[in-house]
A and B are shown apart, each in its own frame.
Chain A
Amino acid sequence: MSATKKNMLCAFLVAVSVVLGYVEFLIPPVIPVYGLKIGFSIFPLLYAFFELSPKRALIIGIIKAILNSILFSGLMSFAYSFTGIIFTVVGMYTLYSLSRSFSEIGISVLGSALFQAGQVLTASLILKSIAPLLYLPYLLLGSIACGIFSGTVIKILRTRVSLKK
């Protein structure tokens, strides 16, 4: 696949991600804990991570964070999602390059857990308080469920729509 085609696919994935993020924004949080969401908008990023490259996944994540904060959630939330995305992609890339014994599910669980960790650390730094850290265990447990879910979705998606032949 040529670089232009890949760039085009990235732009397409960003668009899908923003729309999924909007759908999620419409659903009010069920559990009163910050940041605990299924995270539909992570699907395109995960897809790009496995099918294109981690670098492109990182770019998609950053553009998605910028667009989401401008369109829906306000600029304040940019700091949170930005650190979250950086943590996620860097962590997933490290695990992915260290060992091939993890499937999409394991990598996505790690990504999801690191996203929460990144957000909570940002909140702690901004509020200069350890209080947000107290939510981390709940967020981590929740992120396992979210990670298994999104990992399974990506696994199925990759068997249906694969770029690597």
Chain B
Amino acid sequence: MKRADLILILIIILISLSMLIVFSPKDNAQSVEISLKGRLIGTYSIHEDRDININASLGQMTIHIKDKSVWVSKSLCPDLLEIKQGKISRSGQSLICIPNEVVVSIVGGKAVKSVSY
């Protein structure tokens, strides 16, 4: 490995660390936004426990909100990565299922009433 290689690697590490700091999740979780194919299909308060069934691109998907955390339990996605991503509870975190085109993200800010569109 040459010195130029090391400098390049250091630059990439610095970029990722600064991104990690900028994107770091915060504790002000208020609502859960679910979007399908890039369209927002529902906003739910994180303080109310509920199960949400949605018709995703590949079929039924179940999202749970309980005790201020969010997780996916049922999905027809082939790799089930969104289930393996586990529970999320802080604003700025999200669960993504690319084959299903679903993004579940926790948003901070003002408290909201639950709405599904």
* CB-based contact B103/A127 at 8 Å: yes
Q: Known contacts being A123-B98, A127-B101, A129-B105, is A134 close to B5, with CB within 8 Å?
A: no
Task: Specify which of B35, B38, B81, B92 is in contact with A34 (CB 8 Å cutoff).
Answer: B81
A17-51 contact mask (Cβ, 8 Å, vs B): 1 or 0: 00000000000110011100000000000000000
Task: Specify which of A29, A74, A132, A144 is in contact with B9 (CB 8 Å cutoff).
Answer: A144
Interface of B is mostly: mixed
Q: Known contacts being A129-B103, A129-B105, A137-B23, is A113 close to B1, with CB within 8 Å?
A: no
Flag whether A1 is at the interface (Cβ < 8 A).
no
Question: How many A residues touch the partner, as a band?
Answer: 35 or more
B85 / chain A contacts, CB cutoff of 8 Å: 32
The A/B interface has a contact count, at CB < 8 Å, of 96
Q: Known contacts being A129-B38, A141-B16, is A102 close to B4, with CB within 8 Å?
A: yes
Flag whether A161 is at the interface (Cβ < 8 A).
no
* CB-based contact A141/B13 at 8 Å: yes
Question: How many B residues touch the partner, as a band?
Answer: 20 to 34
Task: Specify which of B8, B15, B19, B92 is in contact with A109 (CB 8 Å cutoff).
Answer: B8
CB proximity to B under 8 Å, residues A97-155: 99, 101-103, 105-106, 109-110, 113, 123, 126-129, 131-138, 140-141, 143-144, 148
Residues of B that sit less than 8 Å from A by CB = 1-5, 8-9, 12-13, 15-17, 19-20, 23, 35, 37-39, 79, 81, 84-86, 92-94, 96, 98-99, 101, 103, 105
Could you name 21 residue pairs across A and B whose Cβ atoms are closer than 8 Å? A32-B86, A34-B81, A34-B96, A74-B99, A76-B98, A101-B3, A101-B4, A103-B4, A103-B5, A106-B9, A123-B96, A126-B101, A127-B103, A128-B38, A129-B35, A129-B94, A134-B94, A140-B12, A140-B16, A141-B16, A148-B9
